Amino acid sequence: MTTKTNVTIYYGPHSWFEKLIERKKSVYLLDAVNDRDESRRKFRHTIDGQEPQENPEPPPRPVNLVASSSDYASIQEHAISNFIGLVREISPKHLLLHNPPEAIHAQTDRVFKSKVIRYEYPVLTRETLMEFRDGFSDHLVGQTNVRERMLAALYQLTTPHRMKPVVVMFYGPSGVGKTETAQFINNLIGGKLLRKQFSMFHSDKFASYLFGGSHGEASFARDLLDRSSGVILLDEFDKANSVFHSAFYEVFDEGVLVDKNYRVDLGPTLIICTSNYGSEEEIRESLGDALHSRFDALISFDPLSKEEMGQVLERLVEAKLSKLSSAERSIIDSESIKTKILSRVSRTGNVRKLSKVVDETISLLLVRTLLNSDSQLNSLEAVGKESES
């Protein structure tokens, strides 16, 4: 008996795929494989003097057999290499594959002829550029140079013929708004930001993550296939060992990443790398000419000036106060807090530290008033001094 299976392959985020399929009529690949294994384990008895039973009815053909991105990791390597055999056995009317490994795509193409549907990632429009320009100072104090340089870089993504990514490197000290800027632009474009922190990987894991390992292992290409965001944030890019730099050549040039199992075509997307490099010269030296020249823009983030720190402090204190009860708020004299903290602000211009100092100072004031006891107050003061230093 020959049966026909229609194959549709979907490339895009999981939530999008789930919305497109008819769940009621669907059987998931893992369940189908388990059922099959289960029925194989059943063996038949024949009893003397009785006619052997007829073969049991084969299970009805599923309407949709569905495999989503994370399912391939759970089936065994031989089922991947003979995926067609598996599909023929289950014999669904439709096979719906979400972000399959290349090997599976190629097999299904050879045998069934498959249809491919790709998610359309949110695009950057001129309106987005305007929102970026006009909303920037609501999110970030200072860094006006960043705003201008980003507008120029983003503009390239609004041109209709652009097919490859725009790649920018944010560099500068910690806590001055690099990640915040990436988050802000992603919120304007839409989708959930894909953020990969390169310092989180150990070298051996990182190699299989970038170049592909066994099909069950975490993979950068698969994470890219699964993403919903228009922005890809490679945080702490300077922490990646230089042996991995070549993995990014083609990604940055063409937006293409091919690893052992997957292939992804990024198209006109925004890739932001962040680092703590101090200068363009340092970037060229550390990353090498080949990688350095592949960035569309290198954008420097400066430490905030004392005046800018004052503005951030203003925002932080107001934000913190708005979360307190009115009774608590009446205890706090916000002006004196601001003056006190500002006089101690260090010269690093690091906002992350500033926000901790604000939290601690306000908490200390509240707890002092609450306890209102001299002896406890003294010991708390000592704790406060320590954490300030």
Ligand X SMILES: Nc1ncnc2c1ncn2[C@@H]1O[C@H](COP(=O)(O)OP(=O)(O)O)[C@@H](O)[C@H]1O
- Which residues form the interface with ligand X (CB under 6 A)? 140-143, 174-180, 274, 304, 312, 351-352
**CB-wise, 32 or 272, nearer to ligand X?**
272
**In the complex, least distance from residue 156 CB atom to ligand X, rounded to whole angstroms:** 23
Q: Whose Cβ is closer to Mg ion: residue 179's or residue 355's?
A: 179
Q: Alpha helix locations (H) across 113-190?
A: 126-139, 144-158, 178-189
Rounded to the nearest whole angstrom, what is the least distance from the CB of residue 13 to ligand X in the complex?
Answer: 25
What CA–CA distance (Å, rounded) separates 242 from 296?
20
Torsion of CA 162, 211, 101, 197, to 10 degrees: -70
Q: Rank residues 5 and 179 by Cβ distance to ligand X and give the closer one.
A: 179
Nearer to ligand X, 107 or 143 (CB): 143
Would you list the DSSP string of 265-304?
A: E--S-EEEEEE---SHHHHHHHH-HHHHTT-SEEEE-PPP
* Residue whose entry in the numeric block shows the structure tokens 């950068």: 220
Report the partner that residue 255 touches, choosing among Mg ion, ligand X, none (CB closer than 5 to 8 A by kind). Answer: none
Owner of token pair 């989180």: 200
Between CA 107 and CA 82 the distance in angstroms is 8
Residue 132 beta carbon to Mg ion: minimum distance, rounded to whole angstroms = 19
Give whichever of 166 and 351 is closer to ligand X, judged by the CB atom: 351
143 binds, among Mg ion, ligand X, none (CB under 5 to 8 A by kind): ligand X
Give the shortest CB-307-to-ligand X separation in angstroms.
12
Region of 96-104, 136-144, 171-179, 327-335 interacting with Mg ion (CB under 5 A): 171-179
Q: Closest separation between CB of residue 173 and ligand X, Å?
A: 7
Q: Is 309 exposed, middle or buried (0-12, 13-18, 19+ CB in 10 A)?
A: buried
* Residue 316 interacts with which of ligand X, Mg ion, none, CB < 5 to 8 Å by class: none
Q: Which of residues 177-206 bind Mg ion (CB under 5 A)?
A: 178-179
The CA-atom distances, in angstroms, between 98 and each of 71, 92, 196, 285 are 9, 16, 22, 41
Footprint of Mg ion (CB under 5 A): 178-179
